[in-house]
């Protein structure tokens, strides 16, 4: 999602570098025995939280109880991330830490929480914000690696790897629950219809507003109705359907805790592999299939300009693609193929039901739509902020292509491709 300037987010902490250096020393004893002036501070992009990268010379970086960051640290320094928030409650931060520990136990690469001198994972401090005088702060190990540029060319290996990570995250969180995961906000894909309808008029281009309404209608048909059916069934069964007993494997649309934001800035890479998963601030109890759809949305952004009919890989599907050109441009069909590669890779790790698979195309498009509509909204007040608008054109370019694809054809393409490459669908993880 997009970052906002501090003036536009009243709940964003106002701590400065000097405050961070002081708090590191007072609350965490960092650096241990060294001069706090040796801590090098750099603010990192963020939405509602405040994040600082803190680098320490190796000779003063040792902290009792702290562990080195995953990946190879710089030869002469150790790094941490100082995180401050006013939006999240202590319970939600504890939930995020529990999710991280769950993924770590499953062998997935996540940061570790560095306890304070008092042994706490979070510390409450004061800051000069008008929103609230209290801020919750944490320190985490820093994951070294690269972030892939949103608009860089992405090959099949990229989509396969992101899909693999999605599936492994879903599998690792199977059966996980936490009371603080039951919250809601406008970025939750389950609330996309309400959010999207409230933001459509923020888009100044009338043709793009028409495309927005097209995808809202698509979401209503392929996602909203199944969600409502799943919630009705959940209520009738007296609780959350989660990852528990599945009575109807073909039609079920499951809920559970998901990361919810495996986007371009939240995945760290080393070579062709994901070496780190960041930012659990959006972790929420929602529909599990949205984990894959949200990741696919960001993976597709910026890829329309690279589309080439020769890139469509499924030989068995080429004839069908040629027969259905009236249902989508060649670029759109290539984007659909890329998304399907990600869906397939995720499905191999954590199989989805036929109903869940039917939602993926519309849910992927709606996540892109919510991103560009929020971007349009905040550009109105921050026209010079490049970070606010970094998903806007890449997202709209993809949506303009995907709007040429018939929804039922997209659903059939995903289903038939996965059936051809994997086998019969609907065999869920018990």
Name the 3-class secondary structure at 94: helix
Distance CA 425, CA 208 (A): 35
The reported pLDDT for the residue numbered 325 is 45
The reported pLDDT for the residue numbered 53 is 94
Mean pLDDT, all residues of the chain: 84
Q: What is the 3-state secondary structure (H, E, C) of 40-98?
A: EEEEECCCCCEEEEEEEEHHHCCCCCCCCCCCCCCCCEEEEEEEEECCCCHHHHHHHHH
Please return the burial class of 96, using the count of CB atoms within 10 Å of its CB with bins 0-12, 13-18 and 19+. Answer: buried
In the predicted model, is pLDDT for residue 241 greater than 60?
Answer: no
Q: How much is the CA Rg of the chain, to the nearest whole Å?
A: 22
CA atoms lying within 13 Å on the CB side of residue 275: 17
Distance CA 176, CA 308 (A): 41
Name the 3-class secondary structure at 419: helix
Angle, in degrees to the nearest 10, between helices 289-300 and 330-349: 140
Distance CA 61, CA 156 (A): 40
In the predicted model, is pLDDT for residue 247 greater than 90?
Answer: no
The two structure tokens encoding residue 352: 């989805």
In the predicted model, is pLDDT for residue 243 greater than 80?
Answer: no
The reported pLDDT for the residue numbered 230 is 80
The two structure tokens encoding residue 247: 């009575």
Q: Which residues are CB-contacts of 244 (< 8 A; sequence separation ≥ 6)?
A: 175
Q: What is the DSSP letter of 28?
A: I
Whether the CB-CB separation of 255 and 234 falls below 8 Å is answered with yes
The two structure tokens encoding residue 203: 């888009």
Whether the CB-CB separation of 278 and 178 falls below 8 Å is answered with no
* Of 48 and 50, the one with more pLDDT: 50
Angle, vertex CA 287, rays to CA 396 and CA 274, nearest 5: 65
Distance CA 367, CA 61 (A): 41
Closest CA to 263 of 390, 136, 88, 91: 390
**Local confidence band at 226 (pLDDT 50, 70, 90 cut-offs):** confident
The two structure tokens encoding residue 39: 């801590």
Name the 3-class secondary structure at 300: helix
DSSP 155-201: -HHHHHHHHHHHHHHHHHTTT---GGG----TT-GGGHHHHHHHHGG
pTM for this structure?
A: 0.85
Structure confidence by residue, pLDDT tens digits, 294-352: 999 999 999 988 775 444 444 434 444 444 444 567 789 999 999 999 999 999 999 99
The two structure tokens encoding residue 337: 């193929």
The reported pLDDT for the residue numbered 427 is 54
Which of these ranges, 112-116, 131-135, 338-342, has the smallest mean pLDDT? 131-135
Closest CA to 427 of 363, 362, 361, 348: 348
Q: Among the residues of 200-314, which ranges form H helices?
A: 206-219, 225-236, 289-300
* Of 13 and 343, the one with more pLDDT: 343
Q: How many CB atoms lie within 10 A of CB 318?
A: 13
């Amino acid at each position: 999602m997009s970052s906002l300037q501090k003036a536009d987010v009243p709940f964003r902490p106002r701590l400065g570098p000097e405050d961070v250096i002081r708090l590191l020393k007072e609350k965490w004893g960092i650096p241990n025995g060294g001069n706090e002036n040796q801590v090098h501070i750099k603010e990192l992009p963020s939405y509602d939280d405040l994040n600082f990268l803190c680098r320490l010379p190796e000779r003063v970086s040792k902290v009792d109880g702290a562990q080195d960051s995953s990946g190879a640290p710089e030869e002469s320094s150790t790094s941490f991330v100082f995180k401050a928030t006013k939006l999240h409650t202590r319970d939600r931060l504890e939930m995020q830490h529990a999710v991280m520990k769950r993924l770590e136990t499953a062998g997935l690469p996540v940061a570790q929480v560095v306890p304070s001198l008092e042994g706490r994972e979070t510390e409450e401090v004061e800051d000069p914000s008008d929103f609230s005088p209290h801020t919750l702060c944490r320190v985490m190990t820093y994951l070294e690696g690269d972030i892939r540029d949103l608009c860089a060319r992405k090959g099949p290996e990229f989509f396969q790897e992101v899909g693999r990570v999605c599936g492994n995250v879903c599998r690792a969180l199977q059966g996980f629950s936490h009371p603080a995961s039951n919250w809601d906000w406008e970025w939750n894909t389950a609330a996309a219809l309400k959010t999207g309808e409230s933001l459509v008029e923020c888009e100044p281009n009338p043709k793009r507003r028409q495309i927005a309404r097209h995808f809202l209608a698509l979401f209503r048909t392929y996602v909203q109705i199944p969600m409502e059916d799943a919630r009705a069934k959940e209520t009738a069964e007296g609780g959350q359907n989660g990852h528990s007993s599945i009575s109807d494997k073909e039609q079920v649309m499951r809920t559970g805790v998901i990361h919810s934001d495996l986007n371009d800035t939240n995945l760290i890479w080393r070579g062709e592999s994901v070496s780190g998963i960041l930012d659990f601030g959006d972790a929420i109890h929602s529909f599990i299939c949205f984990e894959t759809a949200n990741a696919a949305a960001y993976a597709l952004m910026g890829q329309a300009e690279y589309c080439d009919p020769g890139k469509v890989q499924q030989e068995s599907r080429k004839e069908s693609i040629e027969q259905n050109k009236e249902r989508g441009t060649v670029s759109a069909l290539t984007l659909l193929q890329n998304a399907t590669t990600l869906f397939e890779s995720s499905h191999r790790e954590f199989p989805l039901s036929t109903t869940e698979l039917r939602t993926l195309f519309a849910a992927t498009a709606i996540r892109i739509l919510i991103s560009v509509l929020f971007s349009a909204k905040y550009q109105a007040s921050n026209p010079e902020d490049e970070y606010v608008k970094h998903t806007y054109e890449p997202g709209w370019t993809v949506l303009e292509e995907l709007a040429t694809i018939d929804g039922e054809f997209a659903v059939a393409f995903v289903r038939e491709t996965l059936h051809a490459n994997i086998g019969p669908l609907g065999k869920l993880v018990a």
